Amino acid sequence: MFLDEELYLIVKNKKILTPTDFADLLQEMQEACLKRYTDNIAPGMRKLEVKSNIDRVFKSWDLVADKLKKEGYLFADELSKYNYKVQFMSNSNLKKIYDELTI
């Protein structure tokens, strides 16, 4: 299954009744993203390949948020606002690693 399909199913199968429910949704989506890019990184990979894997994860989140917006999903704007790239880059260690992949 593609990551965007997996993320979409996570969202569609989650009932959001409280702020905690939304936080749990974000956490579940983050875990799926983390698993996807770490499973696709192997020792000896070139920096560009690693960066491409991470970028595909960022893109998958955005595709899901866009699809949900088109469907009129209530929290689609929040999913766009808290997209995985923003969350990833807010961690200074992960941001440093990502930035070093472009050098």
Predicted confidence pLDDT, tens digits, the chain (103 residues): 899 999 999 999 999 999 999 999 999 999 999 999 899 999 999 999 999 999 999 999 999 999 999 999 999 999 999 999 999 999 999 999 999 998 6
Phi-psi category of 44—alpha, beta or left, where left has phi over 0 and alpha has psi -120 to 50? left
User: What is the pTM for the complete model shown?
Assistant: 0.90
The residues spanned by each domain of the chain are 3-101
What pLDDT does residue 3 have?
96
What pLDDT does residue 50 have?
94
User: What CA–CA distance (Å, rounded) separates 83 from 87?
Assistant: 6
